[in-house]
A = this chain, B = another copy of it.
Amino acid sequence: MGSETKSAIIDATNSVLCEHGYAGLTVQKIADEASMTTAAIHYHFDTKAELLDAFLDDLIERFESKLTFEPTDPRDRLAAFLDQVFTPSNPDADGFPVAMMELKAQAPFQELFRKRFRELDGVVREVVGEIVADGIDDGHFAETDPDEVARHVATTINGAHARHVALGEPLDETRRVLENALERQLGWRPESGVAA
């Protein structure tokens, strides 16, 4: 079936990207990884950029599906969001944050990538903005601008990613910085690693 093949190609793209990086990503390697011919891959994706666009689309979809919290206490939702973002989904795949960094560096030349990264940023900010707005309504968080908090959280997450890759700084350290900042903004401190 077409969508199963596509999904296998996207999985293989993820593996090759994590192992060989953006520069080492070739259709041949993806074909080898997926046990397919390069022709089969070209049938589904005209260019490497289209393939990576589909890869990013899939990534955002999976990220979004993990962020669908039950309508529960906004404090729990915010803690769960931080757990989700600061816990690597696959601790073995050290190459994944590096590959994402490379794709971000390509965004100025690849409008498709930039669009996806903006989409991902939109998801993060919308989710955080809603949680904060609910928490203010419930009286759990201090009065503040939810969109401003969301933008701040998104920027700090971007900083955490860059520091993790460039400096080798553990994600937990940036998480602590963000928790301190949220405490100042919301008058409430998320408990680190409650869901871990």
Q: Which chain A residues have a beta carbon within 8 Å of chain B's beta carbons? A: 21, 23, 94, 98, 101-102, 104-105, 107-108, 113-114, 117-118, 121, 148, 151-152, 154-163, 165-168, 173-174, 177, 180-181, 184-185
Contacts and interface: CB of A to CB of B under 8 A. Distances in A.
24 contacts: A21-B105, A94-B108, A101-B104, A101-B105, A102-B102, A102-B105, A104-B162, A105-B105, A107-B165, A107-B168, A108-B165, A113-B166, A151-B177, A155-B159, A155-B174, A155-B177, A156-B156, A157-B159, A158-B159, A158-B166, A159-B160, A162-B162, A181-B184, A184-B185
Given A104-B166, A151-B177, 8 more contacts: A98-B105, A102-B102, A102-B105, A104-B162, A107-B167, A118-B167, A155-B156, A161-B162
Contact of A167 (B98, B102, B117): B117
A181 to B, nearest CB: 6
- This protein's copies in its complex: 2
Given A168-B114, A181-B181, A163 B152 contact: no
Contacts of A158: 158-159, 162-163, 166
A177 B149 CA distance: 9
